[in-house]
């Protein structure tokens, strides 16, 4: 599925909650619980996303031109938010990650329930994922020159 197809799927899921803030927050926390466990060995200082108030660990690897992400957080809501990003970006090519425009947050009204600090942290997570994609893309281009 493309980045936009996954975003549309997320928008449709959140539409079922009909703007109910409490249900939306519970749903985000539930999504975080479904995130695959990150090995403790990866929860190192160099894997912490800078700019997040909560602790967020994020790693990436590339196999056969496809990027795979792993993440965890020490707070339930933030873990849910990073799980949404992983759902969108995991399994994509570096180019599709770099060229993507995320719009699902506005369509689901995310700013209503996460506040400024978490919005900044969310932006930092997106930036880190795009930086990983850029690094992988650059590495691929260098290899083929």
Which residues form the catalytic set?
A: 52
Facing residues of 69 across strands?
60
The dihedral of CA 90, 91, 93, 96: what is its sign? Answer: negative
Chain-centroid distance of CA 118 in Å reads 13
Return d(Cα 27, Cα 13) in angstroms, integer. 10
Q: How many Cβ atoms sit within 10 Å of the Cβ of residue 44?
A: 10
Q: How many helices (H) and strands (E) in the chain?
A: 6, 2
Q: How far is CA 23 from the centre of its chain?
A: 21
Helix pair angle (3-15, 21-33), 10° resolution:
130
């Amino acid at each position: 599925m493309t980045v936009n197809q996954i975003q549309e799927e997320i928008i449709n899921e959140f539409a079922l909650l009909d703007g109910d803030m409490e249900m939306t927050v519970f749903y985000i926390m539930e999504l975080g619980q479904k995130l695959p466990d990150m090995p403790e060995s990866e929860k190192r200082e160099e894997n912490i996303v800078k700019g997040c108030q909560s602790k967020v660990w994020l790693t990436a690897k590339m196999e056969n031109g496809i990027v795979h992400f792993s993440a965890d957080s020490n707070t339930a809501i933030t873990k849910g938010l990073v799980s949404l990003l992983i759902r969108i970006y995991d399994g994509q090519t570096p180019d599709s990650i770099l060229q993507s425009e995320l719009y699902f947050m506005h369509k689901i009204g995310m700013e209503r329930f996460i506040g400024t600090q978490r919005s900044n942290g969310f932006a930092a997570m997106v930036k880190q994922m795009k930086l990983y994609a850029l690094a992988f893309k650059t590495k691929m281009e260098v290899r083929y020159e």
